[in-house]
Amino acid sequence: MVGPSDDFSVSTDDTYRHYFHDMLGSTRRLRNENKQALSYYEYIPYGQQYSKWSFGGDTPYRFTGAPLDDDYELYYFAYRYYNPGIARWMTSDPIGQGAGVNTYAYVGGNPVNFTDFLGLHQLVFNGYVVTCYDDNGTIISMWPATSGQERHTGFGETDMGPIPPGIWFFNPNKIHPCNKPGDWGGWRVELGKRKVPKDYGRRELFLHGGLILGSQGCVDIGIMGKVLLPMLKETKGEILLHACYDKGGPPADFNAQRLWYNLLRIPIK
């Protein structure tokens, strides 16, 4: 579980301190350049530190690599403080209920598998575009996107209809190459259900790119997958994808997406 990290810091006395992290990025061991132990840290699942040994060295970067405020026992995640003692954020999620009804919950109650390094991550798909929000909840990019096949708007149409509305999620660490680069853009990542009121029995839905409009229900961001991929890989922890449609429901055709691609002079099939 614990492995060597590529990170190191230099203290005021020019001593190198090497960090050893677990799969969540939490600091578990701290050693000097001679591999001598400086400190050990153990945590319960939600990040409360239940054991610590120090032998002349310490670090504030602990649970998931976030800095700990020792005076208040709170972790700072760039936009919010997190209290591991009660497993809750101290303030509401800046993106509102896009991540769920409980805007104070930490990683949807699954801290063993996921982290939320900045306090929010969000992609929103409305049937026409995928909107990406940056770390302070403002829009940074929008890309044309499709889901399902043209003239198929029923969520229960297996392999034909669009992704059902609700909150889905994925872990960037699970992104992997695929064997159909012309259709999937060379990579894909499976979407899990976080809060999907009715899934219609749909399974194996992915986020991916490609050169062909439409999918079997996956969210397809087309050729812009080349732009999104490095952004996803730079993100720690799970990312939410909120599928939400207006009152008219999913689009029956992809004319809006074709127009967008034509304006960008991007070839599509």
Residue 5's pLDDT is what? Answer: 43
Chain position carrying tokens 């960037």? 172
All residues at 6 or more sequence positions from 12 whose CB lies less than 8 Å from its CB, including other chains: none
Query: Apex CA 223: angle with CA 121 and CA 196, to 5°?
Result: 40
**Along the chain (269 residues), what's the average pLDDT of each consecutive run of 10 residues?**
43 68 81 84 85 81 84 79 85 61 67 54 85 66 88 93 92 83 78 90 91 89 81 77 84 84 64
d(CA 179, CA 168): 24
Residue 210's pLDDT is what? Answer: 81
Phi, psi of 253 (to 5 degrees): -135, 175
Residue 147's pLDDT is what? Answer: 95
Neighbouring C-alpha atoms within 13 Å toward the C-beta of 25: 16
Residue 235's pLDDT is what? Answer: 73
- What's the pTM value of the predicted model, to 2 decimals? 0.56
Question: Domains of the chain: which residue ranges?
Answer: 3-66, 74-109, 122-264
Residue 227's pLDDT is what? Answer: 76
Report CA-CA distances (Å) from 253 to 123, 154, 175, 185, 220. Answer: 22, 13, 29, 21, 14
State which CATH number among 1.10.10, 2.40.440, 3.30.1380, 3.30.160 fits the domain covering 122-264.
Answer: 2.40.440
